[in-house]
């Protein structure tokens, strides 16, 4: 097992959820936390504990975003008009690594981040190597011509684990994506229950 895969599996067990809905997640067999006392950690969590868990799940789902970066995304969400929880999800879904993952050009958010970091991705015809780059509505995202034959991309596209959501328009043949619009929270295909309202409560304390 690779170090990265092992790390993702640990996240699943630590948060006690199959975070990305993967059939090979160890949580499917061992639905308790890791470590010597993993099976004994039960009992009703406090409000703070529930809010913290909601935040950790959302952070981890988008590729273990660091706390400073995640807090900045929350601050941006509070400055936008409308519901802060909806704004938070919208900002997260606009991340370039999230769009690449949603379009099934990568099997995981981590793999999507690697594609971007290694300069395999263009946005509106220009090379972008920043995973947190914020995509706008109607933006075109594509794999560079030199990178279109990468096996990892073909494997990701062939996977039946996920479907491309309606707010992503995919041209699979040319490995080109159009970000149609910022989705509403209810449209985002999370494999587990996410609670952005609790994340907002956590940061509002």
Q: State the pLDDT confidence band at 205, using cuts at 50, 70 and 90.
A: confident
Is 169's pLDDT higher than 50?
yes
Contacts of 165 (CB under 8 A, 6+ apart): 102, 183, 187, 188, 189
The domain 3-92+189-203: what is its CATH number? Answer: 1.10.1050.10
pTM of the model: 0.83
Whole-angstrom distance, CA of residue 28 vs CA of residue 18: 7
143-165 pLDDT, tens digit per residue, is 999 999 999 999 999 998 889 99
Domain ranges of the chain: 3-92+189-203, 95-181
Is 83's pLDDT higher than 60?
yes
Is 7's pLDDT higher than 60?
no
Is 56's pLDDT higher than 70?
yes
Whole-angstrom distance, CA of residue 124 vs CA of residue 134: 13
What is the mean predicted confidence (pLDDT) over 108-113? 95
Q: State the pLDDT confidence band at 30, using cuts at 50, 70 and 90.
A: low
Instruction: Output the pLDDT for position 6.
Output: 47
SS percent in the chain: helix, strand, coil, step 5: 45, 10, 45
Q: Nearest to residue 194, comparing CAs of 28, 15, 11, 33? A: 15
Instruction: Output the pLDDT for position 18.
Output: 65
Q: What CATH fold (topology level) applies to the domain 95-181?
A: 3.10.290
Is 186's pLDDT higher than 80?
yes
What is the mean predicted confidence (pLDDT) over 130-135? 98
């Amino acid at each position: 097992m690779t170090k990265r895969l092992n790390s993702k599996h640990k996240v699943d067990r630590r948060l006690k959820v199959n975070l990305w809905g993967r059939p090979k997640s160890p949580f499917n067999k061992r639905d308790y936390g890791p470590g010597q006392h993993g099976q004994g950690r039960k009992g009703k969590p406090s409000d703070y504990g529930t809010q913290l868990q909601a935040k950790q799940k959302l952070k981890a789902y988008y590729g273990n975003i660091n706390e400073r970066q995640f807090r900045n995304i929350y601050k941006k969400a509070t400055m936008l008009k409308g519901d802060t929880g909806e704004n938070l999800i919208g900002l997260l879904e606009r991340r370039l690594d999230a769009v690449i993952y949603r379009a099934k050009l990568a099997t995981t958010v981590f793999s999507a981040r690697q594609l971007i970091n290694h300069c395999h991705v263009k946005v509106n015809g220009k090379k972008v190597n920043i995973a947190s780059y914020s995509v706008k509505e109607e933006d075109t995202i594509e794999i560079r011509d030199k990178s279109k034959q990468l096996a990892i991309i073909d494997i990701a596209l062939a996977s039946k684990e996920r479907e491309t959501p309606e707010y992503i328009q995919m041209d699979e043949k040319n490995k080109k994506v159009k970000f149609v619009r910022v989705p509403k929270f209810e449209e985002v295909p999370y494999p587990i229950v996410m609670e952005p309202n609790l994340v907002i409560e956590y940061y509002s304390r």
